[in-house]
Amino acid sequence: MALTDTPNIPDPDGFYDELLAAHAGLSAGQTHALNARLVLILANHIGDRDVLRAALATARAGAEGTR
């Protein structure tokens, strides 16, 4: 399995709204904890270490470009 890095979510705006709603009313610490749990749940669902490594590298490259 290869990492899909092109848009692949039906109704991405609707998903983004759901993601924001999941964070509503949480403190910064609770938000970070939610994100960490979500990452681990989705990583477990994917289960393919090569795909997960590629996702980590892609995310890291994007983070290095921001300040």
pLDDT per position as a tens digit, 34-61: 999 999 999 999 999 999 999 999 999 9
- pLDDT for residue 65: 76
Residues 6+ apart with CB under 8 A from 51: 1, 2, 3
User: Is the CB of residue 20 less than 8 Å from the CB of residue 11?
Assistant: no
Q: Which pLDDT score is estimated for 20?
A: 98
Q: Is the pLDDT of residue 67 over 60?
A: no
pTM for this model (two decimals): 0.85
